[in-house]
Amino acid sequence: MKLNPFVPSTQASSLIPLLLLIAVACSIVSIGIGAIRIPPLEVIQALFDSSGSINARIVQELRLPRIVVALICGALFAVSGTMLQGVVRNPLASPDLVGVGAGAGVFAVITLILLPSAPSWLLPVGAFVGAWLGFALVLLLAQKGGEIAPVRVALIGIAVGAALGAVQQLILVRAPDDIGHALIFLAGTVYGADWSRVERLLPWLALLPVAWVLAYKLDVLAFSDDVASGLGMRLMLARVVCMSVAVALAAAAVTGVGVLGFVGLIAPHAARLLIGAKHTFLIPTSGLLGAILVVCADALGRGLIPPIEVPAGILTTLIGAPYFLALMRQQGKIK
Amino acid sequence: MRLETQHLSLGYEDKIIVEDLNLTLEMGKITTIIGSNGCGKSTILRSIARLLKPKMGAVLLDGKAIHTLPSKTVAQQLAILPQTPTAPEGITVEALVRFGRYPHQKFLQPRNPQDDLAIEQALEQTKMLELRTRPLETLSGGQRQRAWIAMSLAQDTPILLLDEPTTYLDIKHQLEVLHLLEELNAKTGKTVVMVLHDLNQAARYSHQLIAVQDGRVMAQNTPELVLTNQVVRDVFGIEAHLILDPSNGKPHVIPFALAVKK
């Protein structure tokens, strides 16, 4: 396989606007899918229709927020995975591999059970705290003599993730019925996403430009430790900052759609293959791919066997797993 | 500019490797640290490069402890080429060398003409201009090492530290790298401090040798004065003939037996 240049050619970097177009196109087609099918042109009309017609109400009130949540969470997971892979210098890292996804899930559940009447903005904050705790637990267990080896983080992350997942199940089994219903999204689906969920996620979108600003630091972190230190980078500080942003991105995404683990793993991989390893390009490419992946998975889930809906998380896994296996094989061949 | 160590103690976890080391490195010269495996020579170099925190004492740059100075300030004064550096996948020579400018760049304003100038100079000095667009992975070992040296040169520091820069290279490329360092030192007056395994190469290319044994400096002087039968026996545990290299008058070590321990 031909190796991608670190800095993409102008031809390759024009991929980013192209992906943006694809994301918009997929969203429009996806909005049209459902019990009442609406052709793409009418979807566009309905988006800007303020007359309150049936089509306009279906599109604006029911389907658009769902698509927006899918786009946002796909991008958040993908960028989080990209950053984690960069910092941990392990291409197989992703939010759910460092205890982040599971920690966010447990704390989202606990937040809702302990404070059922809390304002909605508290849910992602609770998830963020949980994600950090899950992550800190992994780091604490992985550190040895003040140093944190990338491979240990990944290994211990899997174990902690499994344990936290079990805790979440345990709490849910004993939870009152209505809470269980409120937490249905934790199973990894965009089902039932409304404008209030979009509002809850919106402030966390501000972290995407922050991630992009950190791209240069992530590039330096991709060198071996001695090189990065020698260049004057404060390794620990840079890692903690980048990881915190990655944790926050993933925690917010979990409160939107639950854990869609494969997105955080697959989108960065695909982006790396498409555009190379320089984070200035990698981050937007990965984010767009993640958004497209989740929107398409959700569209497929609704369109395949109506009126039954297949959760997006199941489909991203079905799409992602073979792709991921192919990637693994390819990686094996390179080495 | 002055670079020295004061009562420097180094080690990992509970193990002390170097104790109470007092060393002054000569500016504008090539200094090579020699010694047998595990004697602490790389440890000393890594500490001078700020990659290893001292247990006690300090590495002083112009009288200030480098571990308390801002990391970018130190990186503007001394560059380090570690033993087996790794770079992001797919990176080209030019992109690699550009990262050498990192310590000179401020947050959110990554590019200025001075950077471009330093990069061009570094590529020219290492004769990498023609290979600038090549990915690092496609280069030979010698070319790759020159690319890394170019990155360190772009850092534009008065002091360059190298940890065994010739390891894994064949003999021709070893000489190529050492010759390049000699040339850089002669032309730009850059201070070079490195660790080498080969005694004869160390003698041939250095103004000063520092012989280290069990974390202690046994001798620090010109190659002629450091490489004596006694030092070679004590530091390396070998008996050797010492002759003068006919081409440059530097000492040349021809080992013939293991030293007998008394």
Distance of residue B46 Cα from the nearest chain A Cα, in angstroms: 9
Please say whether the dihedral angle defined by the alpha carbons of residues A304, A307, A313 and A314, taken in this order, is positive or negative: negative
Scan for tokens 């160590």, then name that residue.
B5
Q: Which of A22-26, A87-91, B140-144 has the highest mean pLDDT?
A: A22-26
| Alpha carbons A147 and A152: distance in angstroms, whole number | 11
pLDDT value at position A13? Answer: 74
Residues 6+ apart with CB under 8 A from B137: A3, B89, B90
CB contact under 8 A, A230 and B79: yes
Q: Which residues pair with B209 in a beta bridge?
A: B32, B221
Q: Which residues pair with B194 in a beta bridge?
A: B32, B162
pLDDT value at position A2? Answer: 47
Residues 6+ apart with CB under 8 A from A155: A142
Q: Which residues of B touch A (CB under 8 A)?
A: 12-13, 46, 49-51, 71-76, 79-92, 95, 99-100, 102-103, 108, 110, 135, 137, 155
pLDDT value at position A324? Answer: 67
| Alpha carbons A83 and A80: distance in angstroms, whole number | 5
Among candidate residues B129, B127, B191, B183, the one with its CA nearest the CA of residue B158:
B191
Tell me which amino acid residue A210 is.
Answer: V
Among candidate residues A164, A130, A83, A90, the one with its CA nearest the CA of residue A252:
A130
| Alpha carbons B160 and B152: distance in angstroms, whole number | 7
Reported ipTM exceeds the 0.90 cut? yes
Q: DSSP letter at A2?
A: P
Distance of residue B12 Cα from the nearest chain A Cα, in angstroms: 9
Tell me the per-residue pLDDT of A88-136, one tens digit each, with 9 for 90 and over: 777 777 887 788 888 999 998 888 888 877 787 888 899 999 999 998 8
pLDDT value at position A10? Answer: 67
CB contact under 8 A, A6 and B100: no
CB contact under 8 A, A3 and B90: yes
pLDDT value at position B65? Answer: 92
pLDDT value at position A146? Answer: 64
Type and span of the H or E element at A283:
helix A279-303
Question: Which of B83, B103, B110 is nearest residue A231 as measured by Cβ atoms?
Answer: B103
Tell me the per-residue pLDDT of B186-230, one tens digit each, with 9 for 90 and over: 999 999 999 999 999 999 999 999 999 988 888 999 999 999 999
| Alpha carbons B156 and A12: distance in angstroms, whole number | 32
Is A210 within 8 Å of chain B by CB? Answer: no
Higher pLDDT, residue A93 or A295: A295
| Alpha carbons A266 and A289: distance in angstroms, whole number | 9
| Alpha carbons A26 and A22: distance in angstroms, whole number | 6
pLDDT value at position A180? Answer: 67
Residues 6+ apart with CB under 8 A from B218: B211, B212, B231, B234, B235
CB contact under 8 A, B89 and A230: no
What whole-number percentage of chain B has pLDDT above 70? 98
> Cα–Cα distances in Å, from B155 out to B47, B105, B120?
19, 11, 12
pLDDT value at position A334? Answer: 47
Q: What is the mean predicted confidence (pLDDT) over A227-236?
A: 92
List b or e across B96-128, with b for residues whose CB sees 16 or more CB atoms inside 10 angstroms: bbbbbbbbbbeeeeeeeeebeebbebbbebbeb
Q: Which two tokens stand for residue B219?
A: 């001798």
pLDDT at residue A335 above 50? no
pLDDT at residue B236 above 70? yes
pLDDT value at position B120? Answer: 94
Q: Which residues pair with B210 in a beta bridge?
A: B33, B220
Among candidate residues A228, A266, A206, the one with its CA nearest the CA of residue A87:
A228
Q: DSSP letter at A9?
A: P
Scan for tokens 């490329």, then name that residue.
B173
Is pTM beyond 0.80? Reply is yes
Among candidate residues A207, A217, A218, A16, the one with its CA nearest the CA of residue B108:
A217
Q: Which of A57-66, A180-189, B97-106 has the highest mean pLDDT?
A: B97-106
CB B59 within 8 A of CB B66: yes
pLDDT value at position A169? Answer: 84
pLDDT value at position A1? Answer: 37
| Alpha carbons B40 and A2: distance in angstroms, whole number | 42
CB contact under 8 A, B13 and A145: yes
What are the start-end ranges of the E strands in chain A?
143-144, 147-148
Distance of residue B226 Cα from the nearest chain A Cα, in angstroms: 30
pLDDT at residue A4 above 70? no
| Alpha carbons A114 and A130: distance in angstroms, whole number | 14
Q: What backbone phi and psi angles, to 5 degrees, belong to B192? A: -115, 125
Which one of B71, B105, B157 would you mutate to disrupt binding with A, by most A Cβ within 10 Å of its Cβ?
B71
| Alpha carbons A67 and B107: distance in angstroms, whole number | 36
* Contacts across the A-B interface (CB distance below 8 Å): 82
Among candidate residues A322, A266, A315, the one with its CA nearest the CA of residue A290:
A266
Does residue A187 come out as left (phi exceeding 0), alpha (psi in the -120 to 50 range) or beta? alpha
Tell me the per-residue pLDDT of B31-89, one tens digit each, with 9 for 90 and over: 999 998 888 899 999 999 999 999 999 999 999 999 999 999 999 999 999 998 999 98
CB contact under 8 A, B76 and A230: no
Q: What is the mean predicted confidence (pLDDT) over A172-191?
A: 74
Type and span of the H or E element at A328:
helix A312-334
pLDDT at residue B262 above 70? no
pLDDT at residue A62 above 50? yes
Question: Which of A213, A223, A231 is nearest residue B88 as measured by Cβ atoms?
Answer: A223
List b or e across A239-259, with b for residues whose CB sees 16 or more CB atoms inside 10 angstroms: beebbbbbbbbbbbbbbbbbb
Higher pLDDT, residue A193 or B137: B137
Contacts of B87 in chain A (CB under 8 A): 222-223, 227
pLDDT at residue A41 above 90? no
